[in-house]
Amino acid sequence: MNPAANATNAAPTTTPSDVVRNISLVLDEMSGTVVKIDEQQMARIASHLAHPGRIFVAGAGRSGLVLRMAGMRLMHLGLAVHIAGDVTTPAISSGDLLLVASGSGTTSGVVKSAETAAKAGARIAAFTTNPDSPLAGLADALVIIPAAQKTDHGSSKTRQYSGSLFEQALFVATEAIFQSLWDNDPQPAEELWLRHANLE
């Protein structure tokens, strides 16, 4: 007999009520965290993004993916955006901005990028949960997201796995910053759309 066919070995079934419950969990945790982010910190990062100079985006894992999405939106605004690690990304230099995120503020590649940017005279805008981290210490503009770090599995801040809450709040924060920049920009959506990738 095939063990996989044995009902006692069957995987638990996810029910619609499970999904509804967890949608509420994610939304409640996300909104409860985002409203605690200091809006002055967010506005400071927005000001740095609007400042003349190129924008470089660096992040690892899921945080890095969120920042890549933010970089795409900033490109739609007509800003000069480069993703660290791409083969066509030039050297960062004085007058540029490095946009980074790390929940712990200790992710080695992200901290190294910030150190390199600082040595080159570039400004650093960072998102983290840890105000005492090396990354926070390097930042010219800093947003503290009050979420659990990904290794804090017993946190009372979230029931979600690992760094999910930080990454979700990071997405909302960067979307709000983009929207705020666009609110103060005369370009219509049709003009932004002309910059959307057409080699997909």
Q: Which residue numbers are catalytic?
A: 167
What is the side-by-side strand order in the sheet with 123-128? 81-83, 55-59, 97-101, 123-128, 141-144
What span, in angstroms and rounded, lies between the C-alpha atoms of 44 and 141? 6
Cα–Cα nearest to 128, from 32, 41, 40, 68? 41
For residue 170, with 0-12 CB atoms within 10 Å meaning exposed, 13-18 middle and 19 or more buried, which class applies?
A: buried
- DSSP secondary structure string, 95-148? T-EEEEE-SSS--HHHHHHHHHHHHTT-EEEEEES-TTSHHHHH-SEEEE----
Distance, in Å, from the CA atom of 171 to the CA atom of 188, rounded to the nearest integer, reads: 23
